[in-house]
Amino acid sequence: MGYVHIGFTDSPHVQQSDRSILTRVPLRPRTVQTTFINPADLSRLVHVFDILAAVVFAVSGALVASRRGMDVMGFMWLAVITGVGGGTVRDLILDVPVFWVQNPVHVAACLATAVVMHFVAPRVESRYRTLLWFDAFGLALVTVAGTAKALDIGAPALVAIAMGAVTGSVGGIIRDTLGHVPSVLLRHEIYITASVVGACTYVGLNGLGLARVTSMTAGFLVTFGVRGLAIKFGWSLPVFRESATRERWKNARRDSARDDP
Amino acid sequence: MGYVHIGFTDSPHVQQSDRSILTRVPLRPRTVQTTFINPADLSRLVHVFDILAAVVFAVSGALVASRRGMDVMGFMWLAVITGVGGGTVRDLILDVPVFWVQNPVHVAACLATAVVMHFVAPRVESRYRTLLWFDAFGLALVTVAGTAKALDIGAPALVAIAMGAVTGSVGGIIRDTLGHVPSVLLRHEIYITASVVGACTYVGLNGLGLARVTSMTAGFLVTFGVRGLAIKFGWSLPVFRESATRERWKNARRDSARDDP
Amino acid sequence: MGYVHIGFTDSPHVQQSDRSILTRVPLRPRTVQTTFINPADLSRLVHVFDILAAVVFAVSGALVASRRGMDVMGFMWLAVITGVGGGTVRDLILDVPVFWVQNPVHVAACLATAVVMHFVAPRVESRYRTLLWFDAFGLALVTVAGTAKALDIGAPALVAIAMGAVTGSVGGIIRDTLGHVPSVLLRHEIYITASVVGACTYVGLNGLGLARVTSMTAGFLVTFGVRGLAIKFGWSLPVFRESATRERWKNARRDSARDDP
């Protein structure tokens, strides 16, 4: 079957997800008393969490703006691009309407965050470790949301996993590039890895036919768990080294940098 | 109402704007002698100005290429990306056809600018201050054009303002990132701010029901005025500082930069 | 004629190209014994080569990851973005579905390349000169593929040439920006130039009415030839200089860099 475009242009992101949840979780009228979460409530909860995730990312963007001594416009720009950048790139690649164009509540939340952060950034900075945990929460949430959006339009498993990772990391990568700080790609943290492992969990369980809520929750918990353990124990991925060759290269690079006008 | 896609894929940017102008400014046959600008002439004027704005931005891209000692291909690349980059990102986000794909007159103008600049850049550089005023003119023009395009497809006010700022600043941000010069985000100039204030003026007056030409002109004048005053008096936004904490951070950053391989 | 969107959303990239080749190269049943390449075989060959080109680009991304001491996730990220980044930006600008979303075989090939390279990068590095020739091959291939895709949807000649250059160079530019190495724009090599000259050849011959296979092959050979000669003889484009003015600027920049917080 081909790629149907028109169907999606008719409805913004959140409603799409809502409907899918309602469709895939049968209401089972006889056992309704055993459902501990109402699907409509769940979808509203997911929407609130999604905005919260954008705010958490916006805070990390504003902190980079603060460290570089930017003015309030720089705070706003970095907060918005970090908060909604990953989801924007995901939507462009999947060819669905960008999630904040019809209803810019995420952008408004990021802008408000930027203005507040312009005044309180140094105080937030001093609680950086607490912030890392909120960021892990945001990462887990957008990973699952990004993967779900790709699965909803029938993308293959690999693309769905990639979209989870893109939603979680592209905002931060643009933030680090614009703020001239070493990007998450250069720091040896378990960050994108946590996102990928969580997205794999979700896609795997989804492929096994589990209910949407179950596989989403599992993906969320695995992402948050892996990232959390990495924060707690300072985990990082091993880097394969062949030291002599690497040394030689580093010198070559240093020399060429010196010659660079 | 949903998001109608097909309507826009049928017509490129400029014609769309022309039609809107023709539609919203009634021709009033009895008072035609009092109309000091003919709508068709106005739209042709806007189109010429739009190309002029791309050329002005292309000049600023070529100047960065000149300062970094690039060859003519580097001049072309930076001129084109600075000239049409902002509008391209705007069109991708709004999900309308990219404005130069069906009729690449803007790209051709930027390429011609790049070739000329390759030979005369240092002489243009020495008139940098004059150039700043042309750049302010370009900024005011694309801000209004970007905001108008978003309003035309029924985007909310906040998105229309953001699209005005994106059209005005994204080209320059990519230029500065590729040219390894401190971006407009790091310099404490009133630049994006002028764009945002102008876009707010346009959207506000448009919301009050004023004629399209009136609110566009007001948005243009406010953007140009704010940017012009910033150039003339060296205005900048205040930066909130809590110096002790910031110092501590700067040191931490310097240390980590030293450890970075 | 307007811009038809729906027609293209129904079929992914490769099938599109296949069909075009089949359509434009008439099967000529009477002279079939003279056809030295079967069109169906040719299209399969082009597809295999296209994946090979992505792998070659992925290798160059992985080498940058290796020089910066990234972990395996950094290798994967840079390999994928270098391998498919140019084609992705091209597809977004042309408003056709991104080529790897329905069938992510290119992404899978880049990921496998990244994992292998994580262990063998230094050894590959020592054969950098051999690699340059493979890279030239990849550049020639994606230039022709990118130009063909733009021509297929009826883009003007200038846009088709630009899309050839974008497909060939954007992946590398993003790689160099994320890896904090001087981008191809700053090095005075004949790289993008080779791509542009080859794309011009293809578009020119196509405009003269030559068969698709002939003009594609000519475009490929010209790109590969120009780039190959540049590798062999160290060719570069001349840079126009007016040294006194440039010196003054360099000092000004150095001073402002010193003042930068």
Per-residue pLDDT tens digits for A111-121: 999 999 999 98
B 53-72 → C contacts, CB under 8 A: 65-72
Mean pLDDT of chain A: 80
pLDDT for B247: 54
| Contact of C104 with A203, CB cutoff 8 Å | no
Alpha-carbon span B38 to C185, nearest angstrom = 45
Domain assignment of residue A143, yes or no? yes
CA C87 to chain centre: 7
* Residue whose pair of structure tokens reads 């948005």 in the numeric block: B219
* Coil vs helix vs strand at C154: coil
Alpha-carbon span B253 to C236, nearest angstrom = 38
* Residue whose pair of structure tokens reads 């140019």 in the numeric block: C86
Interval C43-68 mean pLDDT: 89
In single-letter form, the type of residue at position C145 comes to: A
* Residue whose pair of structure tokens reads 């000529």 in the numeric block: C28
Determine if the pTM surpasses 0.90.
no
Domain assignment of residue A209, yes or no? yes
Q: Over 50: is that where the pLDDT of B24 sits?
A: no
Interval A167-196 mean pLDDT: 87
Q: Over 70: is that where the pLDDT of C256 sits?
A: no
ipTM above 0.90, yes or no: no
| Minimum mean pLDDT range among A121-135, A159-173, B78-92, C217-231 | A121-135
Which of C71, C96, C253 would best serve as a mutation to test chain A binding (most A beta carbons within 10 A)?
C71
Alpha-carbon span B152 to B8, nearest angstrom = 10
Q: Over 70: is that where the pLDDT of B244 sits?
A: no
pLDDT for C34: 42
Taking an 8 Å cut-off on Cβ atoms, the answer to whether A101 and B92 are in contact is no
User: A245: which chain C residues are within 8 Å (Cβ-Cβ)?
Assistant: 122-123, 125-126
Interval B170-188 mean pLDDT: 85
pLDDT for A246: 52
Taking an 8 Å cut-off on Cβ atoms, the answer to whether B119 and C177 are in contact is no
Percent of chain A with pLDDT over 90: 53
pLDDT for C250: 56
Domain assignment of residue B244, yes or no? no
Q: Over 80: is that where the pLDDT of B213 sits?
A: yes
Q: Over 80: is that where the pLDDT of B174 sits?
A: yes
C168 vs A125, higher pLDDT: C168
| Contact of C64 with C175, CB cutoff 8 Å | yes
| Contact of C175 with C155, CB cutoff 8 Å | no
Alpha-carbon span C167 to C165, nearest angstrom = 6
Alpha-carbon span C149 to C164, nearest angstrom = 9
**What does each C-alpha distance from C213 to A86, C17, C54 come to in angstroms?**
40, 12, 21
Mean pLDDT of chain C: 80
Domain assignment of residue A25, yes or no? no
Q: How far is B16 from chain C (nearest CA, A)?
A: 12
B161 vs A29, higher pLDDT: B161
Q: Over 80: is that where the pLDDT of A22 sits?
A: no
Nearest to A175 by CA among A158, A162, A191, A153: A191
Model confidence at B83, pLDDT cuts 50, 70, 90, reads very high
Domain assignment of residue B24, yes or no? no
Chains with 3 or more CB pairs under 8 A to chain A? B, C
pLDDT for C251: 54
Domain assignment of residue C99, yes or no? yes
What total of structural domains would you count in chain A?
1
The domain containing residue B104 runs over which residues? 41-233
C 185-224 → A contacts, CB under 8 A: 186
The verdict on A87 touching B (C-beta cutoff 8 Å) is no
Q: Over 50: is that where the pLDDT of C157 sits?
A: yes
Percent of chain C with pLDDT over 90: 53
DSSP-assigned states of every residue in chain A:
-----HHHHTS-HHHHHHHHHHHHS---GGGGGG-SS-HHHHHHHHHHHHHHHHHHHHHHHHHHHHHTT--HHHHHHHHHHHHHHHHHHHHHHHTS--TTTS-THHHHHHHHHHHHHHHHHHHHHTTHHHHHHHHHHHHHHHHHHHHHHHHHTT--HHHHHHHHHHHHHHHHHHHHHHTTS--TTTS--SSHHHHHHHHHHHHHHHHTT--HHHHHHHHHHHHHHHHHHHHHHT--------HHHHHHHHHHHHHHHHH--
Alpha-carbon span B11 to C39, nearest angstrom = 36
Domain assignment of residue A187, yes or no? yes
Taking an 8 Å cut-off on Cβ atoms, the answer to whether B242 and A122 are in contact is yes
Q: Over 60: is that where the pLDDT of A214 sits?
A: yes
Interval B42-60 mean pLDDT: 87
Alpha-carbon span B141 to B57, nearest angstrom = 11
Domain assignment of residue C71, yes or no? yes
pLDDT for C2: 33
